[in-house]
Amino acid sequence: MIHELRHFLLVVEHGTLTAAARHAHLTQPALTASIQRLEQAMEARLFDRGRSGARLTAAGEALLPHARAALAAVDDGRRAVAEVQGLVAGEVRIGAGATACTYLLPERLAAFRAAHPGIVFRLREGSPEVLLDLLEAGTIDLAVRAGDEGERWTDDHLVLVAAPGVEPADAPFVTFPPGSSTRGLLQRHFPEARVAMELSGIGAIKSHVRAGIGVALVSTHAVARELADGRLVRVPDPRTPVTRTLRLVHRGVDRLPPAAAALRAALLAEGAP
């Protein structure tokens, strides 16, 4: 049944049996037979097949979250057993926002791996909503995200910055797209903000602000070097610093694989750099 569920999810992901079979390194008849076995076990048709591809039926939609959860549980169990028995190197799948990925986690992950050299990290960057979706799907073990949910890790302080000589009163904002934690804070604390540019990376935001396009609300961790060497200056504003709490979110301590559980404990014990 595990193989059939994996093939089911491949069809959902790729949209056609042909593409799913190619990804699974199977012939299309073999993958079709696998889907038929699953449909027989479920006693329901799971896909409507047509020229445009394979679309989930109502029964398929109902099965989808359970299939994802079942495979995530099997993968978690396999990894946990392997790590406990020392058969393979441990793996930690972690997701975080741009600031945490780029500035807060590298030193902590490097220190953890120095103590546990067999550990492999798989780091995903995403918005708070995307990270929760990845957790629910079992794609990641831990998420570092702003909000009220999860275990408190550290506070992050955001300030306004601009290039030297830019008049902030007339300058528009350079910021992240809607859905990001920083964009949400900008909209909440600066509702009058005029946005000139939306960029997905913190490095791109800093580059365009240094070029004089506008001002940005960013983490102090992200601009510490630029503020120190004068490439950026802090814009005084009574609404700053804006503080957000970053938390560790997971599906439960008892559901964390050993390597992920050890990293969680280390992060909570040490805090952010």
CA distances from 68 to 39, 103, 183 (A): 16, 32, 30
Tens of pLDDT, residues 151-210: 999 999 999 999 999 998 889 999 999 989 999 999 999 999 999 999 989 999 999 999
- pTM comes to 0.65
Please tell me whether residues 87 and 118 are part of one structural domain: yes
Label the pairing between strands 195-198 and 173-175: parallel
Spatial CA neighbour of 209 closest among 227, 186, 183, 232: 232
Residue with tokens 């093939």: 7
Query: What residue has token string 């510490």?
Result: 224
- Are 237 and 168 members of one domain? yes
pLDDT band, residue 88 (cuts 50/70/90): very low
What does the pLDDT look like over 203-224, one tens digit per residue? 999 999 999 999 999 999 999 9
The domain total for the chain is 3
Which residue would you say has higher pLDDT here, 110 or 73? 110
- Do 266 and 204 share a structural domain? no
Tell me how far apart the alpha carbons of residues 147 and 149 are, in angstroms, rounded to a whole number: 6
Range of the domain at 122: 82-152+246-270
Q: Residues 90, 73: one domain?
A: no
Are residues 88 and 208 located together in one domain of the fold?
A: no
73 lies in the same domain as 86? no
CA 244 to chain centre: 18
Q: Are residues 116 and 187 in the same domain?
A: no
204/145 same-domain check: no
Residue 222, domain CATH: 3.40.190.290
- Where among 33, 48, 78 does a domain terminate? 78
Give the HSE-up count for residue 216: Cα atoms under 13 Å, Cβ half-sphere: 29
Statement to judge: residues 120 and 176 lie in one domain? no
- Cβ pair 184, 158 in contact under 8 A: no
Decide if 219 contacts 156 (C-beta within 8 A).
yes
Single residue among 59, 78, 97 that ends a domain in this structure = 78
Indicate the DSSP class of residue 169.
Answer: G
**Which tokens belong to 273?**
């750099």
Structural tokens at position 182: 């920083």
Residues 147 and 158 in one domain: no
Evaluate if residue 87 carries a pLDDT over 50.
no
Question: What are the Cα distances from residue 73, in Å, to 4, 76, 86, 251?
Answer: 15, 5, 20, 11
Average pLDDT of the residues in 104-127: 89
Judge if 142 and 266 occupy the same domain.
yes
Query: Any bridge partners for residue 249, and if so which?
Result: 143
* SS3 of residue 57 by DSSP: coil
Amino acid at 98: A
CATH number at residue 93: 3.40.190.10
Q: Which of 37, 56, 78 is the last residue of a domain?
A: 78
Asked whether residue 106 falls in the same domain as residue 163, the answer is: no
